[in-house]
């Protein structure tokens, strides 16, 4: 987009394209949410957003994605990439930061449609945004959290070099749950896949880095 080049930022890995969403992408992402993201018995999300009534879930998801773009500032951004695999939108990977110019620390969050779990896509997409953070934007550290029992998310963090960094006790679905924190330092990150960044120079200022 001529007047907001951020929307043209793309990352590519051997199997994936990560891009900012078009409205059509969001429609397809909502299909994945409706099909199911996780075992209904286990809630991996702090906000329990997937417990929304089925008829409300797609609209809420699309509005929250649009809100992230609408509320974007260089001091506080949430960059939701669409994960495109074999021509299909299969999930989303978020990279976010507050006051990144000063903190040089990013956070992340992600999900895939259930049919796409367990094929290494989660690791590949997290590696892609970490490469953007460390190599592209000059981050010093990255944090991640996962609820107790979310073995896949814990495994992805471990594989990419994050170290345990404490925990919180949180309420999820009215139950006491441990939320585990992890931190990855720049020098500990080696991407398991090659990642290419396309179109970053035109939108560095959006991330708070000149
Ligand atoms: C978390 C998520 C994005 C990971 O994506 P993915 O493509 O399934 O992850 P990968 O295939 O790259 O890696 C998963 C790893 O977890 C491991 N794993 C999965 N379930 C496991 C279990 N029950 N016990 C132990 N390890 C497990 C896999 O063996 C794999 O590790 P390996 O490659 O060393 O074998 C995906 O599972 C998902 O969308 N989950 C639901 C939403 C969610 O939890 N989001 C994160 C909230 S913090």
- Nearest-CA neighbor of 112 among 87, 146, 88, 78? 88
Tens-digit pLDDT profile for residues 28-70: 999 999 999 999 999 999 999 999 999 999 999 999 999 999 9
The secondary structure element, H or E, covering residue 70 is helix 57-70
Task: Say how many Å lie between the CA of residue 37 and the centre of ligand 1.
Answer: 12
Give nearest CA residue, ligand 1 atom 2.
122
10 Å Cβ neighbour count for 177?
A: 17
User: pLDDT at position 188, please?
Assistant: 98
In this predicted model, what pLDDT tens digit does every residue of 72-112 receive, in sequence order?
999 999 999 999 999 999 999 999 999 999 999 999 999 99
| 107 close to ligand 1 (CB < 6 Angstrom) | no
60 token code pair: 């809420």
Reference 16, options 92, 109, 72; nearest CA is 92
Q: How far is the CA of 4 from the centre of ligand 1 (A)?
A: 34
Whole-number average pLDDT of the chain: 98
> Which atom of ligand 1 approaches the CA of 113 most closely?
39
Q: What mean pLDDT is predicted for residues 138-165?
A: 98
Instruction: Locate the domains of the chain by residue range.
Output: 5-140+194-201
150 lines ligand 1 (CB under 6 A): yes
188-204 mean pLDDT: 98
Q: Which top CATH class is 5-140+194-201?
A: alpha beta
């Amino acid at each position: 987009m001529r007047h907001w080049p951020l929307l043209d930022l793309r990352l590519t890995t051997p199997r994936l394209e990560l891009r900012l969403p078009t409205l059509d992408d969001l429609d397809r992402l909502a299909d994945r949410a409706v099909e199911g993201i996780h075992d209904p018995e286990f809630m991996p999300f702090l906000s329990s957003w997937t417990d929304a009534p089925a008829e409300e879930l797609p609209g809420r998801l699309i509005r929250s994605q649009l809100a992230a773009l609408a509320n974007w500032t260089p001091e506080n951004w949430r960059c939701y990439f669409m994960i495109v695999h074999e021509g299909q939108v299969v999930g989303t990977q978020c990279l976010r930061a507050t006051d990144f110019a000063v903190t040089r620390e990013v956070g992340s969050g992600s999900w895939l449609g259930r049919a796409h779990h367990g094929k290494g896509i989660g690791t590949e997409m997290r590696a892609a945004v970490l490469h953007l953070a460390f190599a592209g934007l000059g981050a010093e550290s990255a944090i991640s959290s996962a609820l107790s029992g979310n073995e896949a998310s814990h495994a992805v963090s471990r594989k990419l070099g994050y170290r345990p960094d404490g925990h919180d006790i949180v309420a999820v679905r009215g139950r006491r749950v441990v939320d585990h924190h992890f931190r990855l330092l720049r020098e500990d990150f080696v991407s398991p896949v090659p990642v290419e960044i396309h179109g970053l120079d035109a939108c560095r200022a959006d991330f708070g880095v000149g």
